[in-house]
Amino acid sequence: MFITLQAHQYSQFPELVDHMFRLRKEVFADRLGWSVPVCGDHERDCYDDLFPVYLVWCNNQGTRLYGSMRLMPTTGPTLLYDVFHATLPTDVNLVAPGIWEGTRMCIDETAIAEDFPDLSPADAFSRLLLALCECALHHGIGMMLSNYEPHMRRVYRRAGVAVDELGRAEGYGRLPVCCGAFEVSGAVLNSMRQATGITEPLYVHHPVAGRQMAMAIAA
């Protein structure tokens, strides 16, 4: 299932949260070679101290993680503006309540291969992106921003996502880092459903978390 974790829910899912930070270290520090803060076997930065929303893909018991992403409103501090600002054109202002940043998107390929042997990594990313679109649409978000390496555009296209690349820059890792934006709408969701062949909703809405996220968007 795909759910969102708010700050008050972190302690309810300690295994998921711990696995998420370990997975991020494996993906972004070890595999991609990004210059990210690492403490032991965890990757965690100052934005995780700001009580972000995490979109997580887990089993129904909430004990095994398959993938995750961090979501933050652009009306507050963001990784894009503070760290990856060089990937943005100088004349672009993307700070608005309905524009959110998605960062640290990753999947646990080992866990997915064990529990979903017929699911390729590309299809797994497609599911995570589709769940993101459902989540954002449900909470009134109109645009998502993300930084990614160039090869990820193929993954986005496979998921039916039309990403508008705003810019790119060198110096963050082995490959250039791009900044992209994609619209969140019913039409986009339908396009993604057609591309992935997934017609049933993936995102599981929790009423309490939904109310708090709606308040954050309106702030």
User: Has residue 208 got a pLDDT over 70?
Assistant: no
Tell me which residue has tokens 């969701």.
Answer: 189
φ/ψ of 118, rounded to 5, equals -90, 0
Q: What is the mean pLDDT of residues 204-208?
A: 65
pTM, 2 dp: 0.89
Angle of the 186-196 helix axis to the 121-138 helix axis, nearest 10 = 160
CB atoms within 10 A of CB 10: 14
Half-sphere exposure of 11 (CA within 13 A, CB side): 1
From the number of C-beta atoms within 10 Å of its C-beta (0-12, 13-18, 19+), residue 146 rates as: buried
96-127 pLDDT, tens per residue?
A: 999 999 999 999 999 999 999 999 999 999 99
Long-range contacts of 164-168, Cβ-Cβ distance < 8 Å, separation of 24 or more: 166/87, 166/88, 166/89, 166/92, 167/86, 167/87, 167/88, 167/89, 167/92, 168/87
Dig out the tokens for 58 from the structure: 């887990």
User: Has residue 21 got a pLDDT over 90?
Assistant: yes
The confidence band for 212, taking pLDDT boundaries of 50, 70 and 90, is very low
Q: What is the Cα Rg of the chain in Å?
A: 16
146-175 pLDDT, tens per residue?
A: 998 898 899 999 999 989 999 999 887 778
Quick one: pLDDT at residue 206? 67
Report how far residue 83's alpha carbon sits from residue 204's, in angstroms, rounded to the nearest whole number: 32
Quick one: pLDDT at residue 59? 93
Query: Which CATH architecture best describes the domain 2-218?
Result: 3-Layer(aba) Sandwich (3.40)
Tell me which residue has tokens 């972190």.
Answer: 10
Q: Give the closest residue to 136 by CA, choosing from 73, 208, 58, 51.
A: 73
36-88 pLDDT, tens per residue?
A: 899 999 999 999 999 999 999 999 888 999 999 999 999 999 999 998 889 98
Q: Is 16:62 a contact under the CB 8 Å cutoff?
A: yes
Q: Max Cα separation, the chain?
A: 46
